[in-house]
Amino acid sequence: MKKLLIAMVVLAGLVYLLFSTFFVDVQINKYADKSIVLKQQAIQNGWVPSILPESAFEIVETHDIDKNTLLGSFKYKEQDEKPFIENLSALNDEKNTLVWKNFLFRIDTKKNIVKFRNKP
């Protein structure tokens, strides 16, 4: 009886491992510009921050529903840099992370690229 119980627990563990490894719920989306983001309702779904600049392009977001994680990036035109950054607050870390609502941002002002993620 004890061996049967151990075998059942091991089998349940293996089934869980199999499903969590091979059936992950990760989705990667790419959008040419903000108009496509709006059309696909990515902002309403919480996958892209609504603070997205009008000139944003080459927008990519990856979300994992199981782990509730979100990573993304976009490029922008320089005219939108100042208004975008003015809406963000410094997080006071060594990596110059900026925050807005439940999103964290890192901005490369030389390449006009923003990387974002949701707060842990």
Closest by CA to 52, choosing from 75, 78, 30, 70, is 75
Q: What is the pTM of this model?
A: 0.79
pLDDT in tens, 21-56: 666 688 999 999 999 999 999 999 999 999 999 999
Q: Report, in angstroms and rounded to the nearest whole number, the Rg of the chain calculated over CA atoms.
A: 20
How many helices and strands, by DSSP H and E, does the chain display?
A: 3, 7
Q: Where are the domains of the chain?
A: 25-118
Q: In what order do the strands lie in the sheet with 26-33?
A: 26-33, 57-64, 69-75, 113-118, 103-108, 98-100, 89-90
